[in-house]
Copies of this chain bind each other. A is one copy, B any other.
């Protein structure tokens, strides 16, 4: 597969042009270009340029609103509700972030729900600006319905990722993972490569364990970690679904969306100011991290991304030529 090397500025410019050429207003396009560029910089390819055609598909089908104007309401002192006006979640998050940070700082803890939106990006990217502002933060999104509950045989939950971040002086402690044993994209890659799945990733249409990727994609994925991961996935389904007025992943699946864009949904943030407990977490967690890193073989969650980021800034990033051409082809010409 032929690849091109692009600078991060080129990634940003290409994304911005493709989105604006498809009718997205500049402010929202800047939010999406930023999150795509940061994913590429961190070698998180599955949330980088690879996603641009999907953003555009949702614009072209008219489901996503390129002219979205998010609105914030605050009925309780520590709770923000952001109606994303059918736009993409990163734009609503950018729009509301300063108010969220201010609220968490004043109240000690705050929750923010983004609704009426499309989420197509990585949770770490949503959390990082909050964590860099010195806050401890969680976020939750309901993923595409594809996961059977522990003990069950049919799809019930989305891949339902969980993100958490803790501030450090250099490079936040940040993780973000699907509560399924593997993300759908990983299973799809195994299918394309003709490789078997590890045991415990999926079941077939009849609910029987399978290591065949195609059979698992037709059947269901399994939660990570047995009944514990299944319980966490249910938690995400509840708090990023009905709690904030959004549908469960199964109801979303019943909409039968097939334009290649992301499903509609929401996102829940919980943000805590550690100074409200008297802690300076940029210092308070360091003894623990030092103990962890003293063990050979132990890596903190964001370490690999931070290393990639340093490289990408100087060396640029590698993009499959076919993907770059596809995105160019989606531009006005």
- Is A320 in the interface zone, CB < 8 Å from B? no
The verdict on A248 contacting B288 (CB below 8 Å), with A151-B299, A274-B243 known, is yes
Report A300 CB to chain B, min CB distance, Å.
Answer: 8
- Is A109 in the interface zone, CB < 8 Å from B? yes
Q: Are A276 and B108 in contact (CB under 8 A)?
A: no
The verdict on A77 contacting B79 (CB below 8 Å), with A228-B229, A231-B301, A279-B245 known, is no
Name the B residues within 8 Å of A136 (CB-CB): 238-239, 243
Report A269 CB to chain B, min CB distance, Å.
Answer: 11
A150 and chain B: residue at smallest CB distance: B298
Report A107 CB to chain B, min CB distance, Å.
Answer: 4
A291 to B177, CA, bound (A): 24
Q: Are B276 and A75 in contact (CB under 8 A)?
A: yes
- Interface segment among A1-9, A35-43, A152-160: the answer is A152-160
Identify which of A108, A175, A279, A299 gathers the most chain B CB atoms within 10 Å of its CB: A108
The verdict on A108 contacting B284 (CB below 8 Å), with A274-B243, A277-B243 known, is no
Q: Are A295 and B152 in contact (CB under 8 A)?
A: yes
Q: Which A269-327 residues sit within 8 Å CB-CB of chain B? A: 270, 272-274, 276-279, 281, 284-285, 287-288, 291-292, 295-301
- Is A27 in the interface zone, CB < 8 Å from B? no
Report A251 CB to chain B, min CB distance, Å.
Answer: 8
Q: Are A295 and B154 in contact (CB under 8 A)?
A: yes
A224 and chain B: residue at smallest CB distance: B225
When each residue 222-236 of chain A gets 1 if its CB lies under 8 Å from chain B and 0 otherwise, what string results?
001111110100110
Q: Are B292 and A76 in contact (CB under 8 A)?
A: no
Q: Which A112-165 residues sit within 8 Å CB-CB of chain B? A: 113, 136, 148-154, 156, 164
Report A111 CB to chain B, min CB distance, Å.
Answer: 4
> Interface residues of A, CB < 8 Å — how many?
70
The verdict on A243 contacting B149 (CB below 8 Å), with A108-B76, A156-B291, A231-B175 known, is no
| 8 Å CB contact of A149 from B81, B245, B298 | B298
- Is A71 in the interface zone, CB < 8 Å from B? no
The verdict on A229 contacting B225 (CB below 8 Å), with A76-B107, A107-B78, A281-B243 known, is yes
Name the B residues within 8 Å of A194 (CB-CB): none
When each residue 49-89 of chain A gets 1 if its CB lies under 8 Å from chain B and 0 otherwise, what string results?
00000000000000000000000000111110100000000
The verdict on A76 contacting B224 (CB below 8 Å), with A151-B297, A279-B245 known, is no
Q: Are A279 and B242 in contact (CB under 8 A)?
A: yes
A296 to B227, CA, bound (A): 15
Report A204 CB to chain B, min CB distance, Å.
Answer: 15
Report A172 CB to chain B, min CB distance, Å.
Answer: 12
The verdict on A173 contacting B238 (CB below 8 Å), with A243-B281, A297-B153 known, is yes
The verdict on A295 contacting B109 (CB below 8 Å), with A277-B244, A284-B242, A285-B242 known, is no
Give 8 CB contacts A-B under 8 Å: A78-B108, A149-B298, A154-B295, A175-B231, A224-B229, A241-B288, A243-B274, A245-B279
